Amino acid sequence: MKTNAILFRLSFLFLFTMITGGILHAQEKITMASDDSTMLKKTVAPPAIKKDTVRHYSPRVAAVRSAIFPGLGQIYNRKIWKVPIVWGALGTTGAIFFYNLKNYKDTKFAYRVKYNMRANHTDSALYNSIVAKLKPLSEESLRFYRNQFRRDVDYTALFFVILWGLNVVDATVDAHLKSFDVSPDLTLKFKAGHSELANTNGISLILKFRSDRAK
């Protein structure tokens, strides 16, 4: 069965896409900040930003929305491109879950009928209700597939819960990163001074940054 391999690839793709998007977003902010900080002597004051125009993103709100319905937290964070990924990951896992559940029920029924026909001489009338592709299989084969599908049902349910949780985590972390702004107020400068600890004079490198929450 290739079910587990599909789920592992799906989970890896989900994680890779989310993490890559977050890294690219963070790198974009850092790059903008670095460009501003290279001008050590020429300090240009950033344009004044009214506090009313700055939108604050609540990690709690993003988490609650994603927990209630996957993708709502990403929409709240204005990361619409992540919504199809979330729905695709959960939708695929859900489809695999129902596929395994149906096959588990079919093989369980076929095994029970064949076992009763051999051991108890009953359920002969139910033989025609067995799925056609399962009729040629032996009791041992049916029991093997029944156990395998039952295990895959548990795995897919677990993966579905994990992916749902990752959707909540992604929305929460994204909201935290949204409210942290370094590009307008990052400054890097050299300052001469005296170190009381080392009792020496020298030059210090000072890096200042602020978060929107500090406003």
Report how many domains make up the chain. 1
55-65 CB burial, b ≥16 within 10 A, e <16:
eebebebbbbb
C-alpha to C-alpha distance for 110 and 126, rounded to whole angstroms: 9
Position 209 in a domain: no
Q: What is the longest distance spanned by two Cα atoms in the chain?
A: 99
Evaluate whether 138 touches 132 at the Cβ level (below 8 Å): no
Q: What is the pLDDT of residue 177?
A: 87
Does 23 map to a domain?
Answer: yes
Gap between the Cα atoms of 109 and 134, Å rounded: 10
Range of the domain at 157: 3-40+53-184
Residue 207 lies in a domain: no
Q: Does the pLDDT of residue 3 top 90, yes or no?
A: no
pLDDT of residue 41: 41
Burial profile 71-95: b = 16 or more Cβ within 10 angstroms, e = fewer: bbbbbbbebeebbebbeebbebbee
**Residue 190: per-residue pLDDT:** 58
- Phi then psi dihedrals of residue 191, to 5 deg: -140, 125
Comparing 37 with 192, the larger pLDDT belongs to 192
Q: List the beta strands (DSSP E) in the chain.
A: 187-195, 200-208
Percent of the chain with pLDDT over 90: 53
Structural domain includes residue 208: no
In a domain, 215, yes or no: no
Confidence at residue 43, expressed as pLDDT on a 0 to 100 scale? 47
pLDDT digit string, tens, across residues 131-179: 999 999 999 999 999 999 999 999 999 999 999 999 999 999 999 887 6
Q: What is the CA radius of gyration of the chain?
A: 29
Answer yes or no: is 153 within a domain: yes
Please return the burial class of 202, using the count of CB atoms within 10 Å of its CB with bins 0-12, 13-18 and 19+. exposed
Residue 214 forms part of a structural domain: no
Determine, yes or no, domain membership for 210. Answer: no
Residue reference for tokens 């001008």: 39
Per-residue pLDDT, averaged over 199-211, amounts to: 63
Q: What whole-number distance in Å separates Cα of residue 98 and Cα of residue 11?
A: 18
Q: How much is the pLDDT for 56?
A: 82
Q: Do residues 94 and 10 make contact, with C-beta atoms less than 8 angstroms apart? A: no
Task: Please write the tens of the pLDDT for every residue from 26-60.
Answer: 455 545 545 554 444 444 455 554 544 557 889 99
d(CA 143, CA 67): 38
Using 50, 70 and 90 to split pLDDT, how confident is the model at 195?
A: low
pLDDT at 200: 74
Average pLDDT, the chain: 78
SS3 assignment, position 47: coil
Q: Would you place residue 201 in the very low, low, confident or very high pLDDT band (cuts 50, 70, 90)?
A: confident
